[in-house]
Structure 1
Amino acid sequence: MHSLDFIAQLDWDTLPEPVRIRARQCLRDLIGVAAGGLNTNLSAIIRDHAAFDLPGEMPMMFDHRSAAPAAAAMAMGMTIDSLDGHDGYNPSKGHVGCPLLPVLLVLGHLKQVSGREFMTALVAGYEFGARAAAAQHATAPDYHTSGSWGAVAGAAAGARLMGLSTEPARHALGIAEYHGPRSQMMRCIDHPTMLKDGSGYGAMAAVSAVQLAARGFTGAPSLIAEQAPEYWGDLGDSWLILQQYFKPYPVCRWAQAPVEAILALRSAHGLQSADIAEITVESFHEAIRLATAEPKTTEEAQYSTSFPCAVAMVRGRVAPADLDGAALHDPEILRLSRGLRMTESEQANAVFPETRLARVTLALRDGRNLVSDWHQPRWDPDVPPSEAELSEKYHELADPVLGPERARAIAATIERLEDAPLTALTDHLFGAV
């Protein structure tokens, strides 16, 4: 089946129940992360840019202002991306939902679609995006950000929402692939900045591509959708939305296995940071490249291995407040972060990206060395979080920013969105906090 045929024919009522449950969980999680990222400088700057420099009538998420549709999608995608706590897909080394959700909210609002149609398009976008990522990684020589293939996924799901027939939809994919941000991910790993994972520009490219194709603009065929057929044959048989991971901590997924190892040793031995002379982390090459030991910004803290590990040892947690503001100057966190040693492990390299392994050695001040087991990040697809854990994460992020009443209303609306208009949700999302 051609990928666009799959997207056009998808029906919410015939989806397996676990897929429908997961779609609601992904939607709620992304909105919670967006709320958690709202107070970052990144989000403030990009929303100002959209409102003042790219004006229009499309309401922006959690903001009283509006912007052009593509600009509103960009601001939404970058706000989600400003707090690195959203879901992801191990084989893609990236994130489907972050560039996808803004496209669907913007185009769904413009088209005034039903909640059922929106939720169906969300599932379609996850299924398309996971395969698009694998196809691009296999056919392109560089490792690109999620915004690159995410632009194509957003265009595919967005074309369905806008009711484009097959030929204009094909052009939308081609436009999005051609104009999408083919940004090199490791550049932002080596030099963490507000560029992050390219998701905002991917969302912007997708909205623009769908609108252009609807007007008759043509694009070259999408290479990843049409010239890598081996990645698309299991559509409708294997549901890759169920293979997404969730993040317990708002930092790069590559840093989460060593955080787990440190928290396990800390708990098992009743340790405090004052007991630790030095931390050593063994992990895969990409995790070692997250090398910012003294972050000056939250972006540098989120794209670091040493700093979150030091936070975990000092505070017994890694929360948004631990990655910005006063936490960046905490002398005990900085002591451990500066002194943390990272070594590359061939064992960890061999199983990346499907599995992200790390092992930690704590050198204690009393002369002992404590060595952890090999750890994976929590909440991988094979050991997913419970509904209660995901709900707790959502409220921890959303309640302080949106207020508990608004956060509860959003969560409740998501649970019954397939039986309501999309405005039942967007009425809560659009407008200032």
Structure 2
Amino acid sequence: MSLFQHIVLLAVLVLAAGFLSLTEISLAGARKIKLKLLAESGDERALKVMALQAQSADFFAASQIGLNAIAILGGILGEGALRPYFIGWISYFYAGPWLENIGFTLAFVAVTSLFILFSDLMPKRLAMIAPERIAVAVIKPVLLFIRLCKPFSWALNLVANLLFRLFKVETTRDDSITFDEISAAVKAGALAGVLQKQEQHFIENVFELESRAVTSTMTSRDNVVFFSLNEAEDSIRQKIAQHSYSKFPVCDGVIDHVIGYVDTRDILVRLLNKQSLFQLNESSIRTVLIIPDTLTLSELLDKFRATKESFAVVINEYALVMGVITVSDIMIAVMGSWGTPLDEDKQILQREDGSWLIDGSTPAGDMKRTIGLETLPEEENYQTAAGFMMYMLRKVPKRTDSVEYEGIKFEVLDVDHYRIDQLLVKRLAPGTPVE
């Protein structure tokens, strides 16, 4: 054959190998979620791609047969066709004993570079740009090629499966999606401008409901306003006027003896009906939902849905009241500042110098996101900013106590009866010592 015929045949082999590389990467990289969307839009080829991904052994065997056969044939053909020409060109400058070896080396490098560039590097990079679109475009010729290579791929898969069983290698593809993968996709969407920053926080907060305990969002015991069973009407009116709550626990003397709760709407109805005297009795006290402090926010939502309630009292293992929580508290945990009433003091306030004033009851996750940390040390051991400080200090904190983590200083500003009221958080300049 002439040099032109050799080059044409070599180009055909390069294109064939490039096609196999393109299909291999696109079929392996095509995401199941996007393929499902294509299938739902009416593209039946996407279903064929998903079916091939589920049973990919035949395709990869056929692909490797084709790629290796083409590479070997291309090497033989290219080296045999190009070496005489390289030897002829080099002989004008060099005619020593290394002439044959130099011609062989140059032919080998030329053919190898051709296959790497046009049969491997470029097709694979193209396939990674839009794997789903390319996969559905090439699925029909791929299925035809698999049928042609079926006898050879069956034999190879038989040997491969025996070796996998011998070494106990799991070959089933895991298509389950983790929270980390969803979070990464959400972050990528926010960076690309598809999602707004606030929408990103909403989605992440919803998934965190599964891991956040009710104690991270509840109104703590010290801040609970309750009615005593024999509370006077004037005292009830005063508490309702001073505190903008819609529900108040009713206790028998002390907070740990919870009887039920009162909805202020019931009181409003009595006042509208000109019934000035309000008695706390069986007819006015509603049954309260009691939950353990070990529940997650997701589990509490299920309980609210099942009981048709929106208010619960949280108790610990000793049956002591830890606090109260409502559906609105969970909504605030999801929506952040958007879900916070306008008259409620902010838990996190950024100052002009870039530092933050953080309330001790602020959920640790909110503090972490605000100051830009990916993780906090051993987060499973605490729920709030105050809990973080107590865990890091390993003692009951006092004013001016501080810790440093990831170049950020956390300092206790105010303590009320051993409870941390407020933290000052600021980034340290590189090399700044912590006092």
TM-score tier (shorter):
under 0.3
Specify the structure having the higher radius of gyration (Cα).
2
Q: Which has the higher contact order (CA 8 A, sep 6+)?
A: 1
More helix by share: 1
TM-score with structure 2 setting the length: 0.20
In terms of fraction of residues, the more strand-rich structure is 2
